[in-house]
Structure formats: structure tokens, C-alpha cells
Amino acid sequence: MSSSIPTIEFGVPGDKITVPRIGLGVAGMVGSYGSYDENDSIGVLNHSIDIGCDFWDTADSYGFGKGEEIVGKVSQSRSEHVFIGTKFGFVFTPPGPDFDGDYSKIVHGICGTPEYVHSQAEKSLKNLGVDRIDLYYQHRIDPNVPIEVTVGAMAELVKEGKVRYLGLSECSADDLRRAYKVHPIAAVQVEYSPWCTDPETNGLLEACRELDVTLVAYAPLGRGFLTGNIRDAKNLEKDDWRRTNPRFQPENIENNIKLVDGIEAIAKKRGVTTSQLTLAWLLAQEKNLMVIPGTRRIKYLDENVAAGHIVLTDDENKEIRELVDKADIKGERY
């Protein structure tokens, strides 16, 4: 896997590879943020390969299978290898034509039983059109199934040659340590950005360092909010789930935009976009960390990837940290 994008070493003891520090999240390409054009999504994915952004993140729940299918369709059409991570865990019913973006109506729970692990892996292998999944995450931890049991089933997939690396998403530090005792974990995916620094304070980042696990930051641009382009959720499409997200509500968004305005002011002085400065800052916080911003437009993909070459000064890093520390973000993440 070669790329002009800055890279990190990724994997588990005895099986390490090099991956770009900036990957591509697929969720928004298949309907999470309203309507989408499949041809546009295919164009972004192909361009992503062209520029070396060949670490893709999807899940069986993204587009209710469509997220895996479109990734598989594009990756199988190219000679270059694309590293694909996918996830299982959410039990859902595909929505009807009148879906309004409220996922609480169609997601029925989380399942981490061995039977579910194996059945969903088979579906993902078929959707992706591959014989082996590069990185397989538990999307959310099932509170009713010990993580040792779930990861034990995931480890069986590795032994069977159906999965290369294991990952956890939105886990606790304790979850990670318990899971790692069963089988080495290559990645932990968690929300991490200037408006969500929980991994720094809940022990998860420390546990990742301790075990040499890569932290994969999803929503590094705050689901688009930290780009500075969203100032009123009413302008989002009716089936865009962000319309129901607490942080995008009118009573919270006016306060939350203060953080964006502060970052934007620094970005203007530097001559970069707010998105680029945000990503560059996040990458500067931890060595064994990568980001997976999503987009449906090639120009924003190029913009995001270019952030990998921005080196912040100590003063810029400190100034952004001060903004983050004093930001009083309103609203829950979900």
C-alpha cells in the first residue's frame, strides 16, 4: 500500500503493514446524510484510490448493506489493493421510502453472540466480494454478551482465514484490555475531534498506547459541523439524521458554532481551510492515530487529504487546544 499521504504502521504483533493516516469514511456516501447519487460515490471512491487514500471504512449497517456493496464494487474493479474495514453489531430493519432519518425507529438493538458474529461476517464477505475482510470491528459492545465471548468468535474468523485484523468501535478502556487478552486488537474506532475529546479523559487513549492499538478517529470533522459549512440544521435534507442530533438543535448550535469560529480564524491566518486545520490538529495529538473523514465530493476529499501535509506550529497547536478546552459543547453526541 503506497501513498503520498503520511503513513503509520498498523496491525498486530507479527503482522504489520503501512497505511495512510487519512482514510475515507463511507457512511455518508450511502444515505446517512440524506439522498445520494451512487455514481458520485463511485467517483469519489475511484479518485480516493488514485490519490492513495486507500483505507476505507464501512459497516453492514451503512445503507443497510449498500455501504459494503458499493465499496466492494469499486475495489474489485481496480487492480490496486484497497484496505477495507467493516463492522457488525447493529440489528436493524431496512427503512421504507418514507424514512425520516430517525434511526431509533429501525435499529432494534446490538448483538454480539457468536452466531451473529459468524452470520454477519458471511454477509459482509458476500457484500464486499472478498474472501477475507481486512479489518472487522464490533460496531458497538453488546451489554448482554461478555466481550470475551464476542471477540472469541471474531478470533475464530481470523483462524478460518476470513478476517485479517480485529477491531472494536466505541468501546471502553476496560473492554479493550479484556478483548486484547482473548486476541490482539489492531484498531479502536471512536469519535474524536475538537468537539469530542472523550478518549483523552476516559482512559481509552491511554489503553491504546499501552497495547499499541491504532486509534481510528471517526467523525473527525464533527459530522460536517467543524467544516464551518453548517450553521442551521434546517438546511439539511429531511432524511439527514443530523436533523435529530442533539448538537445540531437550534438551542445548542448557536453555542457550539463558537468553537468552529475560533478554529476558522486560525485557519484563515494560516491560509488553509477550517477542515484542514481541524484534521491537522487532530493528527498532531497522537502518533498512532488516523482519521477517516467522509465526503461525497472529490474536491473535499482532496482538501481533507492535503491536511496530512500541514504541520502546525507549537503556538497554533496550543491556541487550538485552548479553544477546545474552553469550549462548552452543548448536546449529547447521539
Q: What is the pLDDT of residues 25-59, one digit of tens each?
A: 999 998 777 778 999 999 999 999 999 999 999 99
- If one counts the domains in the chain, the total is 1
Q: Is 62 a catalytic residue?
A: yes
pLDDT digits (tens, 9 = 90+) for 73-86: 999 999 999 999 99
Residue 233: per-residue pLDDT: 85
Whole-number Å distance between alpha carbons of 96 and 57: 25
284 belongs to a structural domain? yes
Whole-number Å distance between alpha carbons of 241 and 221: 16
1 belongs to a structural domain? no
Q: Are 117 and 157 in contact (CB under 8 A)?
A: yes
CATH number, position 84: 3.20.20.100
The Cβ of residue 132 has, within 10 Å, a number of other Cβ atoms equal to: 15
Extract the residue ranges of the chain whose pLDDT is less than 70.
1-3, 101
Q: Which of 67, 137, 9, 6 is nearest to 294 (CA)?
A: 67
Residue 304: per-residue pLDDT: 98
Q: Which domain holds residue 107?
A: 7-326
Backbone angles phi, psi at 168, to 5 degrees: -125, 145
245 belongs to a structural domain? yes
Whole-number Å distance between alpha carbons of 217 and 208: 12
332 belongs to a structural domain? no
278 belongs to a structural domain? yes
pLDDT digits (tens, 9 = 90+) for 238-280: 888 898 899 999 999 999 999 999 999 999 999 999 999 999 9
234 belongs to a structural domain? yes
106 belongs to a structural domain? yes
334 belongs to a structural domain? no
List 36, 62, 165, 192, catalytic entry: 62
Residue 1: per-residue pLDDT: 43
Residue 101: per-residue pLDDT: 67
Q: pTM for the complete prediction?
A: 0.94
Enclosing H/E stretch for 303: helix 298-306
